[in-house]
A and B are shown apart, each in its own frame.
Chain A
């Protein structure tokens, strides 16, 4: 939080206070916020959310510019490409459609005619699916669909819980179907409104007076909670989760100091206070399972820490759970730099959690790029401090996320093997690599979009197209390829993306970042679509340096040629972190044709390294 944002800390939970703060945000008093145009469609009057969206948005780094459709207008806005909804060019469309309005009969007469309930619900779901598809055809905005909260007052009263098919269960089924619908539409996400209501509590959520007077269902507290939760979800849509959590050992992973208290003297077990630290270790394990890399940095004797990790009978985390460990007496800032280097990450990918304020201050001062979390004084609050920071929020978990720690360990093993081999080629040949390349489709799109969102180093252009934008480009004729790489150490998963489009004739989607002007065919103008441009080319850093990029480029060239392409242009858009690939195209036989721009005739074959077996799936 910058000093400019101090007034956000003073906001009290009243409309007057939020309105006042929202005006200051809107006036630009907090510099550096990212503008976010959010359109809200709703079956109720949602306009009162405005100041809360703006203030909660500013707290998470956004200058939210909300727009509200007239209440109860869904199809009217969505199905008309000339509607005000699209005129505002929203980056997010949030849909708040309540079951009470979508299917009044279901809410007012549930169970009265049991056979009709399922049919009524199916109508609702079909309508919502059609809305999502209608939006997707007309905008590349992220789509956030609120799910349904549990019924405030089940019609069967206390008896609902005993029904074979209760009203509460019906809502859960509806939510599962709604999530399935979102999974099928690129760039569509569930906004877990149901969880927000439950977290806050149904009692006190609704204000019957406001609903009766103005079709506005929420209490002030509910307006604040709803806006806050929606903005947190939007942050997860637009900001990739932090990659690595660096934790301290003493008084963080366990209570006490192992060097003084000894293995048997530290607090880690099933009784207080040891159970608090055991629970924290379990939480860190779930973060790891979600794909967050854990690193351990401790001022200690290495043997002491190792004895806890490997021998303590109540330990949950072991040495293998940490992608990197630095246990020594050097400054934490020095060790954090090494952690970043060992994982091939930038400092901004690290989040530091340490109970010691001195260490936090040292890292804050010397490594401003690292996010330093304030560790609460009370260890019971550690989990909430990390989880509620929203730094690790992630809306879509891919299979790759869930095995990332294992992949990084293999990376370490492969690095060790590289030191044993006589020459790099010999080493690469010994890896027995298999590159599988395929066209991006609905199953691979989420992971591909995720790679675009977070790859910084081996990324030629750093264009952060969303899943929806990618789908639109593919629809418009772009060639989009994914790459998986496996070797004798294991499968690295989906680690590469290449995207090429005709240089002329294909409009670029609305992009989130400024773009260089598109390449125009020169005077010796070619037949339309014979000149292609590589829009995006990236590789996950854990497989850099193995020739997989060459295999991917060769396949891309082949696919473009099959589409009638005769020449392929590659660009390099320099950023702070992608110097690694500045000479990527010249190294692959492309000839210079402008600043940071190279071209290759596709009549010249692109070689694939002999030590990678490549297979292509259309």
Chain B
């Protein structure tokens, strides 16, 4: 699952796959701006077949937070 998540992050942010890690977050990644953020969460929805609430949209601001919320949807 991490592989899929990292690939989507890289595709959405226009970053190299190697540049994405468990530590990647909105705060430490300049390309992860507000538009990229919406695109990222929407891409995750498509890839994992989930629908996130507005609160989840706002919380998913790091790889760690995304993993936690995906786990909450039964994906880990």
Contacts and interface: CB of A to CB of B under 8 A. Distances in A.
Nearest to A50: B35
A444 interface: no
Contact of B54 (A19, A23, A212): A212
Contacts of B14: 19-20, 23
A14 B46 CA distance: 7
A216 interface: yes
Given A23-B14, A216-B38, A16 B8 contact: yes
A220 B46 CA distance: 10
B67 interface: no
B62 interface: no
Contacts of A47: 35
A15 B58 contact: no
A17 interface: yes
Given A19-B39, A209-B54, A213-B54, A13 B46 contact: yes
B12 interface: yes
B30 to A, nearest CB: 16
A512 interface: no
Given A15-B43, A16-B8, A20-B11, A48 B54 contact: no
A51 B14 CA distance: 12
B43 to A, nearest CB: 4
A576 interface: no
Contacts of B54: 209, 212-213
A212 B46 CA distance: 20
B43 A16 contact: yes
A210 B47 contact: no
B42 interface: yes
Contact of A15 (B7, B12, B34, B57): B12
Contact of B42 (A12, A212, A220): A220
A209 B50 CA distance: 14
B11 A17 contact: yes
Interface in A1-35: 12-17, 19-20, 23
Contact of B39 (A13, A15, A213): A15
B34 A19 contact: no
B38 A14 contact: no
Contacts of A562: none
A13 B46 CA distance: 9
B32 to A, nearest CB: 13
Contact of A14 (B34, B43, B53): B43
B35 A16 contact: no
Nearest to B7: A16
Which one of B53, B54, B58 has the greatest number of beta carbons of chain A within 10 Å? Answer: B54
Q: Report the contact-size class of chain A (Cβ under 8 Å from the partner).
A: 10 to 19
Contact of A19 (B12, B47, B53, B57): B12
Q: Report the contact-size class of chain B (Cβ under 8 Å from the partner).
A: 10 to 19
A467 B8 CA distance: 45
A214 interface: yes
Given A14-B43, A16-B43, A210 B38 contact: yes
A529 B38 CA distance: 58
B57 A209 contact: yes
Which one of B39, B54, B57 has the greatest number of beta carbons of chain A within 10 Å? Answer: B39
Interface string A203-226: 000000110111010001000000
Interface string B33-76: 01100111011001100000110011000000000000000000
A61 B70 CA distance: 39
A193 B67 CA distance: 38
A314 B63 CA distance: 66
A13 B45 CA distance: 12
B58 A19 contact: no
Which one of B12, B47, B53, B58 has the greatest number of beta carbons of chain A within 10 Å? Answer: B12
A540 to B, nearest CB: 48
Nearest to A209: B54
B48 to A, nearest CB: 11
A16 B43 CA distance: 6
A16 B7 CA distance: 9
Given A17-B11, A19-B12, A213 B43 contact: no
A16 B12 CA distance: 5
A48 B38 contact: yes
A153 to B, nearest CB: 20
Nearest to A18: B39
A16 B38 contact: no
Nearest to B11: A16
Contacts of A213: 38, 54, 57-58
B34 to A, nearest CB: 7
B44 to A, nearest CB: 9
Contacts of B11: 16-17, 19-20
Interface of A: 12-17, 19-20, 23, 47-48, 51, 209-210, 212-214, 216, 220
Given A17-B11, A220-B42, 6 more contacts: A15-B39, A16-B7, A16-B8, A16-B12, A16-B43, A20-B11
Interface of B: 7-8, 11-12, 14, 34-35, 38-40, 42-43, 46-47, 53-54, 57-58
Nearest first, the 6 closest Cβ-Cβ pairs linking A and B are A15-B39, A16-B43, A16-B11, A14-B46, A20-B11, A15-B43
30 contacts: A12-B46, A13-B46, A14-B42, A14-B43, A14-B47, A15-B39, A15-B40, A15-B43, A15-B46, A16-B7, A16-B8, A16-B11, A16-B40, A16-B46, A16-B47, A17-B11, A17-B43, A20-B14, A23-B14, A48-B35, A48-B39, A209-B54, A209-B57, A212-B54, A213-B38, A213-B57, A214-B38, A216-B38, A220-B42, A220-B46
